[in-house]
Amino acid sequence: MKYFFVSCPIHFENELIKEIEGFWHLMMDLDGLPTREALPEFEIDKGGVLFKCSLHLGLQINLFSHIANRVLLRHIDFKARYFDQFEKEFKKIDFSKIFNFKMDKKITIEIESSKSRLFHEKNLTETMTKILTEKKIQLVSDSENRIFIRLFNDIVTVSIDTTGEHLHFRGYRKHQGAAPIRENLAYLTLQIAGLTTANQKTILDPFCGSGTLLFESVLNGIPQLNRPFPFFNLQITPALFKSPTWIKNYKWLKPTQHKLLGLEKDLETLNKAVLNQKIFSDLYFTPNLTFKHIDSSKCELQTLDLSAADPLWIVTNPPYGERLSSEEIPAILKRFESLEMLRGMIVLHPTDWKFQFQRLKVSQSIPFSNQGLKLSLSIFKPT
């Protein structure tokens, strides 16, 4: 069993736990079958969760979590109030047992210290550089072999980065319009709204931009199998992940086929969304998704080809920077309220926007931060 720390957007640690609990039994054991290991006990730490589980499951969080930022594997912790204590313990770490050094022996170290006597990061880096040089390892700024060192209350925790590039990079959004929402925040929005379930529905984004909310709405339980995570190269990684055919084992995974519709008035942005759709299909599966070049303020709602049978959800991250948008956008969204099959509307918006729907009422509004902007995530439902 190993300790893992999985980081996520701050204040959403409980949503991350909920997500992990949801996909836990979709992960694979070393015999290629869905895991039989019981759910771990989660401990919340600001900006992430800590838990203990088998190595092969902790590593798979990288593939399955759409909310997490990064998965760190705890290697060792020790107490150090003085430099000589730090030096003595750091020297003991055998990096060649962790990393599969190829041609060059290089590592990158991220260090962070708080509430500790040893807080001077420059001095700590000098000490580490000296020790690494003795071990013939080069300290560089951009190696795939990455260690996170955290000092807190004089306890030094050394963790191995298993993720590499931040997990919100899914690979499908090669083309982006103005102000796209981060992929993991889009997934978080959908999970909070209860839309990451398998029940068949139509999801409409009337301001879809590059399509992030729509793509994320069908990723529940679908792992990211198309990217070279650093954990594949760790010395301790189970042989399962090194076999060329291991991903074929996941036979129990089935994509959810919601009907997705994105409206976008800017043709250039719409074309980017269509290009992303092609990449998404190559990397994951072909979604039931249509992008339309339409101005949401003017379109005839009957022409949108929405089936009366499917429950409809509107999910959107409209433009908020433009002048007048605080009144214009709520007015545009109000037009969609007349759609009979509408079950709810989820809108990410500046906190001072006012919505005056007739049939819909706010059922939840929570603070949400997107690229440093303070927003509200409001969920409106029919009364």
Ligand X SMILES: C[S@@+](CC[C@H](N)C(=O)[O-])C[C@H]1O[C@@H](n2cnc3c(N)ncnc32)[C@H](O)[C@@H]1O
Coil/strand/helix, residue 86: helix
| CA–CA gap between residue 13 and residue 49 (Å, rounded) | 6
CB of 27 or CB of 333, closer to ligand X: 333
Q: What CA–CA distance (Å, rounded) separates 256 from 262? A: 17
* CB nearer to ligand X: pick between 51 and 291: 291
Residue nearest to ligand X (CB): 209
Shortest CB 353 distance to ligand X, Å: 14
Min dist. Cβ of residue 90 to ligand X (A)? 42
Q: How far is the CB of 177 from ligand X (least distance, A)?
A: 4
Give 244 or 372: the residue with its C-beta nearer to ligand X.
372
CB of 99 to ligand X, least distance (A): 36
Comparing CA positions, the residue from 266, 262, 357, 257 lying closest to residue 304 is 262
Residues that bind ligand X (CB under 6 A): 176-181, 207, 209-210, 212-213, 263-266, 269, 295-297, 317-319, 332
Question: DSSP alpha helices (H): ranges in 4-148?
Answer: 13-23, 55-64, 83-91, 121-134
| Cα gap 301→295, rounded to integer Å | 11
Nearer to ligand X, 68 or 332 (CB): 332
Decide: 262 and 214 in contact? Cβ < 8 Å.
Answer: yes
| Amino acid type, 258 | H
Distance from C-alpha of 25 to C-alpha of 373, rounded to nearest angstrom: 36
**Two tokens, residue 169:** 């990079």
CB nearer to ligand X: pick between 106 and 175: 175
Nearer to ligand X, 69 or 212 (CB): 212
Minimum Å gap between C-beta 92 and ligand X is: 46
Number of C-alpha atoms within 13 angstroms, CB side, residue 71? 28
Q: How far is CA 105 from CA 145, 158, 198, 235, in A?
A: 9, 19, 46, 14
The least CB distance from residue 369 to ligand X, in Å, is 15
